[in-house]
Structure 1
Amino acid sequence: MTQPQPRFITAAGFAKLRSEYDELFAVERPKLVETISWAAANGDRSENGDYIYGRKKLREIDRRLGHLAKAMKAAKVVEPGAQGSRGQVRFGATVELADEEDNRRTLTIVGDDEADASAGRIGWSAPLSRALIGARVGDERIVRLPSGEKSYEVMAISYRG
């Protein structure tokens, strides 16, 4: 059996996964099991909405717990502040970009499990991240997006943490 590919993640992203796992395992799941047991004791399970819904919800929680456990097992925590070459875009970098019309945006390259485009956090395997890795301030990168090619200039690079 092959080892799973490491899934790079920041310490904050790993803590968030761990917190969700702990909440589901120690709080949500036991409450649901209690509700299902109560509903099962009420007799006919075929028409018992609490029982049917509870079993469905329990399967969803168990699936999510399995996903989180796999993600945490494969996680390789990388501290953005510990990156050696701070002059280049690497995992954990916060990058200020300018497009052809000088529209600026700031992005942070994070693990795929903690990506949130609306908050400016993009997964390290996203096309834009892959194009930026290794870039320095002043470098121009062309990114192939579903909407076509777009050119970005790296204006600033910083590492937090």
Structure 2
Amino acid sequence: MSKAFVKENDHQEDDDFPEIPALPAGTKNYMTVQGYRSLRAELVHLLNKERPDMVQVVSWAASNGDRSENGDYLYGKKRLREIDRRIRFLTKRLELAEVVDPGLQPNKDQVFFGATVLYSDKVGEEFRVTIVGVDEAEPLQGKISWVSPVARALIKSHEGDTVVLRTPAGIDELDVLEVSYPEPAPPADPDGSSPI
């Protein structure tokens, strides 16, 4: 049967795939050692486990005959496109990564990349955030991108400082209550490989 009749397109883009976070023009892709390791582990898992498993499923499903109504085949092809897109994204981002170990920061009383900051807003509500790379950001877990408005307001401040946060909703003042950094990353993983 012709591909024209089965609505199958190997090059179609899936609209439901999450948007890739953009880096501001002219900036580096800063990343913590832990963030780099996490993305690298995801890439290795996709290359060595998930993709080969999905290729096997698609191959098995294709051998079952009519592909136009074969759910395993259609889903498998879609999932392979998603995996391949994620592999390309991770490969590119890891190549561009500028890995920073926040534990080596000499000015531990000042806010820089990788710092964990406890601050309060003008109504007294306290927040604890860690300033991380764009690809590591998880705002609901307190990990904010270094290019976010809150991080930009906090960077270079010291404990006890009050900084101004400009948002579309107006101006807020943030009181920096505490600044801390993690311990330096170990020089090598337990398996003897380098940390990055």
Normalising by structure 1, report the TM-score.
Answer: 0.92
- Aligned partner of 2:93 among 66, 71, 76: 71
SS of equivalent residue, structure 1 residue 37: helix
1:149 maps to 171
1:80 maps to 102
1:126 maps to 148
Deviation at 1:5, TM superposition (A): 4.2
Matched, 1:6 2:28: yes
More strand by share: 1
Q: What is the one-letter code of the residue matched to 2:112?
A: R
The C-alpha deviation readout for 1:4-46, integer Å capped at 9, x for no partner, is 8421111111111011111111111101101111111111222
> Is the CA contact 1:5–1:74 (under 8 Å) kept in the aligned structure 2?
no
- Paired-residue identity, %: 46
SS of equivalent residue, structure 1 residue 122: strand
Q: What is the one-letter code of the residue matched to 2:87?
A: L
Distance in 2, Cα, partners of 1:89 & 1:126: 14
Deviation at 1:90, TM superposition (A): 0.3
Q: What is the one-letter code of the residue matched to 1:142?
A: V
Q: What is the one-letter code of the residue matched to 1:53?
A: Y
SS of equivalent residue, structure 1 residue 113: coil
**CA-atom RMSD, angstroms?**
1.4
Q: What is the one-letter code of the residue matched to 1:151?
A: E
Q: What is the one-letter code of the residue matched to 1:127?
A: P
> Is the CA contact 1:140–1:153 (under 8 Å) kept in the aligned structure 2?
yes
More helix by share: 1
SS of equivalent residue, structure 2 residue 175: strand
Distance in 2, Cα, partners of 1:45 & 1:144: 55
SS of equivalent residue, structure 1 residue 76: strand
The C-alpha deviation readout for 1:95-125, integer Å capped at 9, x for no partner, is 1102112221111111111111111111101
Distance in 1, Cα, partners of 2:168 & 2:139: 16
SS of equivalent residue, structure 2 residue 135: helix
Matched, 1:33 2:39: no
Matched, 1:19 2:41: yes
Q: Structure 2 matches for 1:83-102, cutoff 5 A? A: 83-102=105-124
Runs of 4+ in 1 over 3 A off after TM superposition: none
Distance in 2, Cα, partners of 1:71 & 1:33: 24
Normalising by structure 2, report the TM-score.
Answer: 0.76
Distance in 2, Cα, partners of 1:6 & 1:131: 19
1:56 maps to 78
Distance in 2, Cα, partners of 1:47 & 1:30: 23
Deviation at 1:130, TM superposition (A): 0.8
Deviation at 1:85, TM superposition (A): 2.0
> Is the CA contact 1:93–1:158 (under 8 Å) kept in the aligned structure 2?
yes
Which of 131-140 and 61-70 deviates more? 131-140
Distance in 2, Cα, partners of 1:51 & 1:157: 52
Matched, 1:116 2:144: no
